[in-house]
Structure 1
């Protein structure tokens, strides 16, 4: 015997309110990209149409363009996990890591524009010369070990560790350097201004309870003001907004550093205290 066919109502495949068939959103779509192409001699935006699949990031699309349409497209990348900072670029005008920018944040009909970091000289296509940042890094005096202690003998309270540990998350993507208008819009400032990434490094060392820079004659907060251009920063917090590690650069590093620099320079009691020699010296 054969079973009788079911006589109940049939169920239509699930879809959204617009009548999209089930699974259609997972099949991908064709996106429009505008990518800056050029070198030190100049360049411009080139238009591409490229396939986008579910779950992809902007760096995936750049790699697909290299594989299918633009094999000579230059782009810097390494880990593709948001930890090396290599794939920094500007996506629709905002400094981002391409490997951490999901295509799902853009609508399918939106044109996605990818350009190199504007604050630094272009080498080719999306690759820029970020040597300025390494120059500034070398200008920041290193940690000064406390006298009488060898490496491995340092001891810090956990509260003090927590205070500066946030700054250690920096992956040196230089997005904060790129978005800082002091660097971005005024080339003439670069000689005198270290930028938020390295002022944050100065702040980290200045609040380090074991740093003995003061005993060696180095006042880090004063140096930040005089040598690294802290006064140029007007705390717009744009550096904090683009940090992929969510470091509160402005609130937790730059503002406290500015307060200490101001106290040591303008507060008469702090100034007087710095002039009085300690007992026993």
Structure 2
């Protein structure tokens, strides 16, 4: 097994402030950035704060920005960097720093609570739901989300404009609304809930300008923009501005 000394810059500090610190640390074949952060903890900075759990790309805990790009540390192999390249690791920029690489992502859980849950169809009990396989597949793509919040972090509506957070749910939760809105068994409309209208009026769908940056950083490869946000926008616009759709919705309610 070959090894070499790599140069790292790691952000250290807390809510009051901080900055990048330089380190030289051993790297071995096959290692990922999280391995190096653990080695730093073990050999040089035992009080370095970092959030992690599974180390398998499934819990979403170890989100950070590596050379300025939102990534999972456990899924970023050291082999993607040149050996003489300095690797910079900083906390997620869109959320408040707690300490070092750990950020307060409570914003996302607050937004999750604002999305109305699946409304079961009347007259059907658990185990009686039936769906076409293509509908199952459509929803299943979105359910691969591990809630790493990299899409939330890279979305410039949240990242660059703190003032938008009150009105904008972000791509992860607009994707959740899209999944429920296209779910053939969701009885939201029968219960008086218009998911398309709430997406537009309550969750800030109009703020999204489909730059696809959320899709580009998704470690699960979910096509957030193409398969969730754009279709949701199309349906919301139809509901709000197409006179025939609007008239049809009024007739159905009667």
Calculate the TM-score normalised by the size of structure 1.
Answer: 0.90
Q: Distance in 2 between matches of 1:269 and 1:142?
A: 29
Q: Distance in 1 between matches of 2:201 and 2:146?
A: 26
Of 104, 120, 138, 1:145 maps to: 120
SS at match of 1:55: coil
Cα shift at 1:277: 3.5
* Residues 199-255 of structure 1: CA deviation (Å, up to 9, x unaligned): 000000000000000001111011100000000000000000000000000000000
Query: How many residues are matched?
Result: 254
Q: Distance in 2 between matches of 1:67 and 1:212?
A: 53
Q: Distance in 2 between matches of 1:71 and 1:227?
A: 44
| 2:87 counterpart residue number | 112
| 1:217 counterpart residue number | 192
**Uncovered stretches (5+) of structure 1, i.e. residues with no partner:** 1-25
| 1:4 counterpart residue number | none
Is 1:248 the counterpart of 2:223? The answer is: yes
SS at match of 1:80: coil
Is 1:266 the counterpart of 2:241? The answer is: yes
Cα shift at 1:159: 1.2
| 2:29 counterpart residue number | 54
| 1:18 counterpart residue number | none
Radius of gyration: which is bigger?
A: 1
Cα shift at 1:263: 0.1
Of 142, 147, 171, 1:167 maps to: 142
**Uncovered stretches (5+) of structure 2, i.e. residues with no partner:** none
| 1:93 counterpart residue number | 68
SS at match of 1:275: helix
* Residues 162-189 of structure 1: CA deviation (Å, up to 9, x unaligned): 1111000000000000000000000000
Q: Distance in 2 between matches of 1:162 and 1:43?
A: 45
Cα shift at 1:196: 0.1
| Larger relative contact order, structure 1 or 2 (CA cutoff 8 Å, min sep 6) | 2
Q: Distance in 2 between matches of 1:195 and 1:108?
A: 36
Moved over 3 A (4+): none
Counterparts of 1:1-281 in structure 2, within 5 Å, are 26-277=1-252
Q: Distance in 1 between matches of 2:252 and 2:165?
A: 37
Task: Calculate the aligned-residue CA RMSD, in Å.
Answer: 0.7
* Residues 117-139 of structure 1: CA deviation (Å, up to 9, x unaligned): 00000000000000000000000
